[in-house]
């Protein structure tokens, strides 16, 4: 399993950054290699990617979503991957966006790319393009503010899934209702 984690600070309010991220069909505007994303339901989408000349189609489902805080997903077919993006209010007009992706490289080229850090570079570039996209617009193209709770914990006998840790109320930002970035 390969893991990539990258962050970027964007000069928009946390709600604007979060709202834009929920507009999956806009991802081809700032994610290199993403040909299209089709929103099938509130929680499900179909992706078409073309990276290194290899085109793939796969479906994803939202596994957890909380407005202005986080969106987590996993693939439901095709390439095995999962991820989470979190949003941290730095000030009224600045937000830290952090992306973590976990995936299994399949081909030889993907395995080599993972070893030499091509995945990290791709995610970092996508975040820079997201920053340019949202800051140049100044507003989101739409939003979906639905709440999706994480699956029950393993203690409930659900096959080993673990829920995200409970938020620490001492880190809540009373002005926005969202989390603060660490150390702020």
In the chain, what are the domain boundaries? 2-146
| Confidence grade of residue 161 (pLDDT, cut at 50, 70, 90) | very low
| Three-class HEC string of 65-114 | EECCCEEEEEECCCCCEEEEEEEEEEECCEEEEEEEEEECCCCHHHHHHH
pTM of the model: 0.78
Determine the pLDDT at residue 3.
87
Question: How many Å apart are CA 123 and CA 126, to the nearest integer?
Answer: 5
Please state which of the four CATH numbers 3.30.530.20, 3.60.15.10, 3.40.630.30, 3.40.190.10 is assigned to the domain occupying 2-146. 3.30.530.20
pLDDT in tens, 110-137: 655 555 555 677 889 999 999 999 999 9
* Alpha-helical runs (H) found in the chain: 14-21, 108-116, 118-137
């Amino acid at each position: 399993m390969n893991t990539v984690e990258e962050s970027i600070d964007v000069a928009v309010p946390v709600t604007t950054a979060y709202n834009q991220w929920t507009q999956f069909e806009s991802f081809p505007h700032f994610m290199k290699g993403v040909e299209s994303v089709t929103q099938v339901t509130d929680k499900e989408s179909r992706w078409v990617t073309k990276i290194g000349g290899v085109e793939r189609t796969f479906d994803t489902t939202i596994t957890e979503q909380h407005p202005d805080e986080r969106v987590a997903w996993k693939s439901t077919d095709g390439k095995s991957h999962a991820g989470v993006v979190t949003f941290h209010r730095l000030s009224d007009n600045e937000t830290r966006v952090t992306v973590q992706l976990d995936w299994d490289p399949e081909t030889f080229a993907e395995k080599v790319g993972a070893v030499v850090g091509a995945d990290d570079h791709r995610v970092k570039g996508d975040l820079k393009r997201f920053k340019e996209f949202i800051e140049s617009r100044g507003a989101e193209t739409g939003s979906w503010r639905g709440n999706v709770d994480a699956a029950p914990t393993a203690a409930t006998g659900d096959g080993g899934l673990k829920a995200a840790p409970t938020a620490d109320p001492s880190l809540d930002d009373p002005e926005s209702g969202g989390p603060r970035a660490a150390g702020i």
